[in-house]
């Protein structure tokens, strides 16, 4: 499948959320041209009809550009909220007592209904309750079967349906609500590539989602709860990728704790070879401003220096006033950082030791050979994508061209660091592998005539997880002309 799309020189991927400001075919195409490598569909907003139209728009772009496109459906997860008030809101004074109870009558400055019985069973004296993204802080002083008494530590206005966070305990809540299950079924029926699971607290949440997905999409676990951080290794073992969802992390944890946690999560994911996305408030000011703050630019740059696979735009591209400019400036920041001579050394500060397997040995050797012989690219033949993920974990300094007969695999690799995935017919012999590697490398402009390329594959060909071949080839300038058919 020839491509009209020039491979990115940039290694880190950009995941752009689509929404009211960016849901037209023309805008989606412009976002891709400006630098978006993958698109997020937020299931928290809109109807299934809206989402279906958006998915169809993205797939049409795939046909237009003749390049696999990546779609991530982000499930809403359980939302904890307080009830309603007589006047729609109430003022809570610092030092006052405020009660959360099971009474469905409208609330006031003394009490309000809490329609989540599981919270009554989980909290205890001293537990913090954060309202409206942490703007109000309540401290539990007494728990009874029908009511939770709290002391108002940080007061302010509380209004109908404001969100509630309970950072100090693991709530007995399933990560998938009935809405999520319906949304998941819809997303899988419409062949999205990734499912993002919200409100993950424990590995069991990921295992349940994997059972429901049954291999029909890849699974990304959002790390946005302190409980998830405490069980990160177990979650990483079960997930295909993770997201550092800094919005809720920043609510439930002191703000000064979030930057080191971000680095720890990125490092842990990279060690295990799981793609990792850094998300939330990266260019927040660009929701209303045509340019970011210098602090936001530095924030994006930090994620790139840390070696994250992808960086994400949320409201900036979904509902902001400057969606195209947001993607464009994020692309420029990432490109500039990767051009920094110190970038490679900073990225490789995280040591990713290979497992004692042939696959990992080949992936590590490919990256080493690139540096030793000055090769210009790595070409991976893969069916499942596992070879590509292993090579990308090494963060090679050259482009990574992924050749796969599976469109599903090619689409899923849109969140992988440095990967340019191309769907093409499989090979059946060593000679065919070498010839195709040369032709596709030249065709996609990954390397030029006279340059060397490192090729990895598995024998027997077409067998997932059998990477055991590494070969160095030198490109001939007229090779593409002599072999037009592929």
**What residue ranges do the domains of the chain occupy?**
13-77+175-340, 89-165, 358-482
Tokens of 382: 């893969």
Backbone φ and ψ for 472, nearest 5 degrees, come out as -110, 130
CA distances from 231 to 119, 237, 471 (A): 21, 10, 40
Q: Residues with catalytic annotation? A: 40, 81, 222, 280
Q: Which H or E run includes 440?
A: helix 430-443
The reported pTM is 0.91
CATH for 358-482 is 3.40.1380.20
Q: How far apart are alpha carbons 86 and 111 in whole angstroms?
A: 11
Q: For residue 163, what is the DSSP state?
A: B
Q: How far apart are alpha carbons 50 and 393 in whole angstroms?
A: 36
Looking at residue 347, its pLDDT comes to 94
CATH superfamily for 13-77+175-340 is Phosphoenolpyruvate-binding domains (3.20.20.60)
H-helix segments, 214-352: 226-230, 232-238, 246-252, 258-271, 294-305, 315-318, 323-339, 343-347
Looking at residue 477, its pLDDT comes to 63
CATH for 89-165 is 2.40.33.10
Q: Check: CB of residue 243 under 8 Å from CB of residue 206.
A: no
CA atoms within 13 A on the CB side of 416: 31
| Mean pLDDT split into 10-residue runs, the chain, 486 residues | 61 97 96 96 96 97 89 95 95 97 96 95 95 94 96 96 91 90 98 96 96 98 93 97 93 92 96 96 96 97 97 97 98 97 93 84 92 94 91 94 95 96 89 90 90 88 74 77 50
Looking at residue 5, its pLDDT comes to 54
Looking at residue 457, its pLDDT comes to 87
Find residue 467's DSSP bridge partners. Answer: 458
Looking at residue 473, its pLDDT comes to 92
Q: How far apart are alpha carbons 88 and 206 in whole angstroms?
A: 37
E strands along 120-206, which residues?
A: 128-131, 136-144, 147-154, 156-159, 164-165, 194-197
Q: How far apart are alpha carbons 153 and 158 in whole angstroms?
A: 14
């Amino acid at each position: 499948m020839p491509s009209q799309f020039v491979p990115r020189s940039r290694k880190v991927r950009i995941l752009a959320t689509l929404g009211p400001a960016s849901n037209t075919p023309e805008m989606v195409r412009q976002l891709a041209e400006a630098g978006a490598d993958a698109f997020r569909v937020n299931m928290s907003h809109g109807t299934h009809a809206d989402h279906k139209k958006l998915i169809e728009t993205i797939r049409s772009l795939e046909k237009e550009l003749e390049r696999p496109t990546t779609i991530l459906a982000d499930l809403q997860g359980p939302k904890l909220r307080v009830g309603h008030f007589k006047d729609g809101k109430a003022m809570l004074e610092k030092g006052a007592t405020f009660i959360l109870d099971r009474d469905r009558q409208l609330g006031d400055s003394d009490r309000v209904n809490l329609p989540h019985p599981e919270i009554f069973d989980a909290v205890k004296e001293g537990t913090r309750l954060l309202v409206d993204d942490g703007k109000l802080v309540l401290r539990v002083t007494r728990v009874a079967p029908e009511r939770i008494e709290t002391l108002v530590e940080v007061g302010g206005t509380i209004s109908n349906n404001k969100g509630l966070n309970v950072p100090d305990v693991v709530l007995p809540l399933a990560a998938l609500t009935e809405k999520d299950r319906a949304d998941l079924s819809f997303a899988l029926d419409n062949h999205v590539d990734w499912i993002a699971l919200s409100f993950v607290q424990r590995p069991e949440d990921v295992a349940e989602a994997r059972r429901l997905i049954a291999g029909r999409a890849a699974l990304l676990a959002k790390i946005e709860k302190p409980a998830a951080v405490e069980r990160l290794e177990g979650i990483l073992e079960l997930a295909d990728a993770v997201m550092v969802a800094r919005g809720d992390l920043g609510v439930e944890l002191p703000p000064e704790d979030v930057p080191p946690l971000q680095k720890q999560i990125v490092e842990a994911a990279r060690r295990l070879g799981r793609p990792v996305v850094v998300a939330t408030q990266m260019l927040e000011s660009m929701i209303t401003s045509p340019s970011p703050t210098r602090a936001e630019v530095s924030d994006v740059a930090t994620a790139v220096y840390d070696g994250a696979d992808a960086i994400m735009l949320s409201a900036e591209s979904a509902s902001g006033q400057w969606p195209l400019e947001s993607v464009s400036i994020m692309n420029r920041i990432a490109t500039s950082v990767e051009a920094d001579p110190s970038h490679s050394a900073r990225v490789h500060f995280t040591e990713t030791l290979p497992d004692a397997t042939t696959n990992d040995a080949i992936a590590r050797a490919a990256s080493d050979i690139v540096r030793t012989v000055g090769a210009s690219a790595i070409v991976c033949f893969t069916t499942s994508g596992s070879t590509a993920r292993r090579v990308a974990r090494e963060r090679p300094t050259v482009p990574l061209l992924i050749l796969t007969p599976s469109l599903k695999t090619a689409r899923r690799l849109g969140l992988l660091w440095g990967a340019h995935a191309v769907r093409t017919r499989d090979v059946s012999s060593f000679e065919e592998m070498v010839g195709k590697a040369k032709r596709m490398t030249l065709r996609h402009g990954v390397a030029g005539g006279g340059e060397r390329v490192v090729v990895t594959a598995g024998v027997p060909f077409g067998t997932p997880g059998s990477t055991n071949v590494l070969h160095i080839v030198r490109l001939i300038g007229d090779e593409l002309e002599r072999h037009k058919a592929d």
